[in-house]
Structure 1
Amino acid sequence: RGLTRRNENLALLNTMASTMATSDDIDLIVRQSLGQLLSYLRLEVGEVFLRREDSELLQMVHHQGMLIERLWKKDQVLIGEDIVGATARDNQPRLYTLPDKKLTSLNPAVSDTCLRHLACMPLTGRRGTLGVLVVATCHSQPLDELETQYLATISAWLGTAIENLRLNVQGKRLVILEERERIGMDLHDGIIQSIYAVGLTLEHARLLMNEDINGAHQRIDQAIADLNSTIRDIRAYILDLRPRQLHDENLMQGIQRLVNEFKANTLIPVTLQGPADGFPGMTDGEALAMFHITQEALANIAKHARAKKVEMVVWKTSDRVLLEIHDDGRGFDPTKVRLAIGHGVSNMQTRAHNAGGDVEIFSEPGQGTTITTWVPFREPSAE
């Protein structure tokens, strides 16, 4: 019987682990995990309190059970306050048999139910307690040692899952803040300065109107040219900021879509050569890496190259899919100018390396730039 229970425990742990691994929604994970736990242990009521980030406050985020609307008088407590707060502070489970005069923070309506036993389990992560899991049951017998250990295991798993999700969210927030800072710097150092310069040129033209009409016209023509250049820069930034994904397309169809948008925004002609079938057998990860590398390369050309044309070729060998992008723009010295062209180069290299491939960049001032990238490829086996 003991072996059967342990096997059942492992089965539920596997189910809950699957729930935690396939979702990034904390509310969904809490709701599903608590429901699975109550159903398996045949417990009537459960609640989860979570600690607010950067706060000492514990907030009840989920309740399950039809016997009572809530177990406690308050749905918010400070760490160290009442039974729930003390469980979080001490990081130790607490087991009670009801009624218990010490539980003054318990909802008085609990005494009108059949609930006889209550357990408070800390939800712990690597950085401390994240909350408290509370369960209550009408069973005549208290939770046995195996059930208590099982609750502790589930609580630790749930706490770790919540901590990981919160860290992931914080990481995404940091990336967004860094990207906002980069965009702000690009706008300030590039577009805003260009618009300011146009304003100065027009002001100079106004002053010349009565004294040097030809000079004024020249300044106006210069302002128009500068505004057109600024508009192209804005289009390039828009092209770079749009989110990109392959939408039910093969690799070549996705690259063709990027090329079409690039041409529409920059008016730079592009030739693209490659097989229309988009290399059947490429994994989604390999195709998406190549797609995003193409996006980064075209965005860099739009912003920095001042090219008059772009040539692109996609082909494969026995073990690779390769992409070459060449522009006839102003080029640069890769050893000196890498920092000046933004995050594009490092992004391309990171994407290629993550897919098991690489990126090579050849450029000289005045000679344009050639980017060659590849990702692994294995021909689909014939069956």
Structure 2
Amino acid sequence: MARSWRNFFRRSKDEPEEQGPTTETEAPPDAEASANGTESPVADPEPVTPEDPSETVAPSVEDEPVEPSQEEAAEPVEPPREEVLEPESEPEVVEALPEPTAVEEAPDAGAAAEEQESAGWFGRLRQGLSRSRESFVGQLNAAVAEFKDAEDEEFWERVEEILVSSDVGVPTTAKLVAELEQEALRRNITSGAELKRLMVEHATKMLEGPVELDISHKPTVILMVGVNGTGKTTTIGKLSRFLPGTTMFAAGDTFRAAAIEQLQQWGERTGTPVIARDRGADAAAVAHDSIQAARREGTDVLLIDTAGRLHTKVNLMAELDKVHRVIGRQMPGAPHEVLMTVDATTGQNGLRQAKMFQEVAGLTGIILTKLDGTAKGGIALAIANEVGVPIKLVSVGEKVEDLHPFDAREFAEALFGDL
């Protein structure tokens, strides 16, 4: 059975198992339905960081909201700035109106409903990956149809060319094809049908990883990171629908004009309080305030949004490192999950982004978004193989139910299944 939300969360041992959440199919307020179904509930920014933002609103890396260590104190600092963690007024907490309670399913209908939901999700996944399949499955079909001998080097070279052109990437393609060739020789495979099954088997093995989301702490702190326009804020809103227990949002994207308002809209829809400051405030201070609020309110899961930043902007990546350090000082061991949204349409550029964010933020999981609008679904193989961080969630549209836990075999079958 495909992975479901029910077995996706890693809870504390003494916490009772909860029933799976119910979802709605509506998009958030003012959502713009794009032609290809990509996620944009509020006017998302262009995927380019404004020129030299670090000189405008990005807070100084040295402007720590807590006492700096001796080593950090030795770093070059800018002219003294006013301390950000002692505001004159309390941070704004936007109380959200609760939504109508959904009708609970009968206990004996739970398993059937889960199976039906899984089948429906697989259909959406296959549909979302249709462009990826169309881009290279036809070529692979033609090549595999002529396969007769595992020792045919020209055949394997052709397979390599097809995979590289499909954004699987050179290192990952070389590894995958080498494994396929060795296994085909060992098993003495001589038919295309057997080779097709072998492709799915090895792709599944490459994609597998520990995908459970750790929510065993109280509060569990989840930090959402990524570049502009990859769907961070939207994903926070969607994910909160499925999280058990109480949730809280922190509007740490204080740079983008509509980011705070967008997160507040999701808060209103999901009945989730939002910790926010004014635009241009110190993102680390927002994180500091939100952890205090989550502890005070007894919140189960705190989701912290961050500003989109290009991985090539040193100052902005340093700011992200600062946010990460402040969270750890405020709550040792946190953040417990650092999830990066990667726009699948960016292909190999998304792979480079993931590598840089992994170095700075210590990623625990990847969320692949906008799979419905790309022919580059092969990027999942490259990320799983080269970044060393498991893909935990995938999104194939803008509706809440279009976000789903990642299942390696399911993905491999949806990607290669029409071979």
TM-score (norm 2): 0.19
Higher alpha-carbon Rg = 1
Larger strand fraction of residues: 1
Q: Which has the higher contact order (CA 8 A, sep 6+)?
A: 2
TM-score (norm 1): 0.21
Larger helix fraction of residues: 1
